[in-house]
Chains A and B, each alone.
Chain A
Amino acid sequence: MPGGELWVALVALVPDIWGCVQNTSAIASSLDSLSSGQTPRAAESPADALRWLKPVTALIVLGGALITFGIIWDISWHATIGRDTFWTAAHIMIYAGGATAGCLAGWLAICATFLHRESFRHISVQLWGARAPMGAWVTIWGAAAMLTSAPLDDWWHNAYGLDVKILSPPHALLAAGMYGVVTGGYLLASARRNRLAAAGASSEGSTLAVLANGIQLALSSILLTELSFPNFQHSSTFVLASAAMYPGFLVAAARHSPCKWAATKMSLVYMGVICVMVWILPLFPGEPKLAPIYNPRTTMAPPAFPHLMFIPALAIDLLFLALRNRSGWKSAVVAIPMAAVLFLALFVTVQWHFSAFLISPAADNHFFAGHGRFFSYMGDLSNAGRFFRLQDRAITPEVIGWACLIAGASAAVGYATGGSLRRILR
């Protein structure tokens, strides 16, 4: 299970983390020597100074994971209990993830700017006189955006009432911040992987990059939660939104990663993240504390079962495997439209049938959490087995046409992004 891989990877990093702590105390004693006029110890080699970049990157990725799990938990909290304050466990998890990642990225900036300037010179970029790896800057920005959204969100609630939907302008700023933190971790991992590949270690560092990429996809999919419930998956809105979001991720992963089946692995990480919450959340009791209650829940509401993303991901991986000997525009003119068509054909077909299964009584179990098990306390369970938005938002040939265009645009963005990610070294 992808979650298990993450824990194994983190445990393996413990010696590196300990090395980081030792290096830090060595740095402190060097600074003390300088200030007291004593001759400092010989400067450590760049390899020593950068040895702890890997555990710090992993911890930043972990921060992004905490944010993603925290958001899913928070949505469940609102769907089950309804009432919350700023200091719920879910909120603390989200902000702890952002703060941890932000502080660690800030530490990287301090190291790159002041403490290990020479060692970091070749793996950092300059921003307003300071230096840090590109991913660290993005993470710092993300953490700052998360903090900025807090007072704005508080005023928005006082002015317009507590949000009953996921996306509002302050939440969009928070989402941008969270996405920044997660993307920053992904950039750090990708840059490290690319440097190792350039040095001859072609597959080292791929695991962390794939994990970060999968967490990024899971976080992005949460934005489409309100459009992606199984009961909505026969509507045009779901098809168009999915066409805009997912092809870009899959194509970028398939294109830029030196490891095989990158898109498939990434999609399995995404599914793993969501499935963990589908299976864990209902184990905990929860009851609604807000009226009106139309669905008197007794356990925490799980998210809906994730999309079977690995199927179109596998097809896209195979496509890029077949095109591996092509490059430049010859590759792009084939890869982009084919990826878009493959995604749409497989994703829409698979989800059409899978969603019908998920809303049926056959999915009314702990594993699939279907047939309304994910409904909030305001949901009407008599609608658990129905598809919504069929009349006014039907999937017509015109909708499919638009979806192809949108998926193509998304795939093009993913293709370009994947190309950039292959080159990132700092």
Chain B
Amino acid sequence: MSPASFRPAFWMAVMLFSLPWLPVESRAHVGSPHIIFEGRAGDYPVRVIIRQPEVVPGLAEIHVRALGAVPERVTALPMHSVAGRKGAPRPDVATLVEGETHLFQAQLWFMTRGAYGVEVTTEGPLGGGSVMVPVNSMAYGRKEMPLWLLTITLSLLTLLGLGVVGITRAGFREASLPPDAPATPSLQRRGLIGASLGAVLVAGAIYGGNLWREVEDNQHKSRVLYRPFAHEVALAESDPPELTFKLTDSRASARHNTLLPDHGKLVHLFLVSDTSPPAFAHLHPKGFDRLAFKSTIPPLPGGNYRVFTDLVHEGGATQLLTNRLVLPSDVPVSPPSDPEDSWLASRPVGERTSELGEGMTMQLEVVPGASVSEGVSLRASVRNPEGGAVTLEPYLRMLGHAVVMKEDGGRFAHLHPAGTLNMAAARRMADRSGPPGAAEASDAVCGDLSVLPPEQALAMGREGVVSFPFVFPEMGNYWIWVQVRVKGVIRTGLFRHKA
């Protein structure tokens, strides 16, 4: 095969090889990739940050920072929601990060899709104990091949292809030639036949390999890649008008996908307008059918809204569903269908101070963690007009709730003082894998004020301060809403933060 004749074949091979490997847009998941818990693991206060794997099977990175005394030993044990503790390996011992005295790290493989719980256990002079942090093992996207790797791979594959052609040519031409056999034109013909067969083999390998890659990619998209449940968010023509949320996905009927209440509510639905500053609502639609829920529409300005819905399933998996809705501008005011519903139509936005009404203000302080990867603490304090502390009352069993959304809607998180971990999922995992009473203990660790005596719950809010640990997943501008209950009324502060 002469150099001139193989040039077109070379570039065709390059093209055929390149096309399937060029960057493909992967499906976006707007939820935070980090699960954060801040609280006590037994006798030791800790902040646990788990970076969920993005592929399945995949590796989760776990960091545990001791916020006070340092335990002697920290372990992490992954438990699948179905196999439970019985199907779990020995716990991994977390090691101290080099140069650190308070920060431990571990890596855990999650081999199948579904809900997992990572039991973080501390042992030391103060005693010990554990906390169950629920983690979703889902393939949220597919990583693209970097250009440099694509270039190197294509070059090597081209060489291999040329090698096949050359070897088959040489083999047909000379491999069975006895010693001293003369060189004849028939040898060259045999060599060309061999080269042609080699080229057919290479072309077949390219075609077959590409086809196989497509099949694997399609299987990955249809069977492995996370597909959020199909659902509808619409306005019902009723009097008064209502917002309906329906799960239309066939998977929603499965027993392990039955919805679990999360701090008392089956559905947490958030509306965020496209305006700047955005209007906001935190609603709890009521079920009127097994998979359908409805809520009255709060007095928000008309326009386009992003809809974010938090769900927890019986199996322990959590979902954040996204949708869009157009609200009319002339919705009559009607009582909320749930007394815990809250909204914020509009308010001037500051980076650090938000008016709450009746002269009260909320100040937000973004306290950086020990390192960038360990995130921040969003510390909100509520003050009366005189500057004194305002007692915070339990709202949805917590001292406060926060919602963080990237300005373009690409990231969204609903968080609590204990972090981003889902309390209902943590309870489910603890109930399945722990001793009797583990579920209630999990609620307490996750900051559920309903397990405390009312006086103790109120005492926790006396200083008027609530803090939320968070890791900003990407650089950019974020809206932050902090919701508290003061004197029986839900107040929402709105802030803008550049991460």
Q: List A residues at the B interface (Cβ < 8 Å).
A: 82-83, 122-123, 125-128, 134, 137-138, 141, 144-145, 147-148, 151-152, 155, 157-162, 164, 168-169, 172-173, 191, 198, 287-294, 378, 420, 423-426
Contact = CB atoms under 8 A, between A and B. Distances in A.
Nearest to B26: A159
A169 B176 contact: no
A152 B145 CA distance: 9
A290 B87 CA distance: 9
B80 A292 contact: yes
A161 B178 contact: no
Interface stretch (B167-175, B285-293, B368-376, B472-480): B167-175
B160 A144 contact: yes
Nearest to A83: B109
Interface of B: 53, 55-58, 78-80, 82-83, 86-90, 92, 109-112, 116, 139, 142-145, 149, 152-153, 156-157, 159-160, 163-164, 166-167, 170-171, 173-180, 209, 212-213, 216-217, 220, 224
Contacts of A125: 170-171, 173-175
B149 A155 contact: yes
A357 B164 CA distance: 44
Contacts of A291: 78-80, 83, 87-89, 110-111, 116
B149 A287 contact: no
Contacts of A160: 55, 139, 142, 216-217, 220, 224
Contacts of B179: 122-123, 425
B175 A169 contact: no
B224 A161 contact: yes
28 contacts: A125-B170, A125-B173, A125-B174, A125-B175, A134-B170, A134-B175, A141-B160, A144-B163, A148-B160, A151-B152, A160-B220, A161-B57, A162-B57, A289-B90, A289-B92, A290-B57, A290-B111, A291-B83, A291-B116, A292-B80, A292-B88, A294-B83, A294-B87, A420-B176, A423-B175, A425-B175, A425-B178, A426-B177
Nearest to B180: A122
B144 to A, nearest CB: 8
A290 B109 contact: yes
Contacts of A164: 57, 111
Contacts, number: 138
Closest 6 CB pairs of A and B: A292-B83, A122-B179, A161-B55, A423-B176, A292-B80, A125-B170
Contacts of B139: 160-161
Contacts of B86: 293
B166 A128 contact: yes
A289 B166 contact: no
A426 B170 CA distance: 10
A191 B89 CA distance: 51
A398 B271 CA distance: 60
A144 B156 contact: yes
A172 B379 CA distance: 53
Contacts of B143: 155, 158-159
A74 to B, nearest CB: 16
Given A161-B57, A294-B87, A423-B175, 14 more contacts: A125-B173, A141-B163, A145-B160, A151-B149, A155-B145, A159-B143, A160-B139, A160-B142, A161-B56, A162-B58, A164-B57, A164-B111, A293-B88, A425-B176
Contacts of A138: 167
Given A148-B160, A162-B58, A292-B87, A172 B209 contact: yes
Contacts of B174: 125-126, 134, 426
Contacts of B80: 291-292
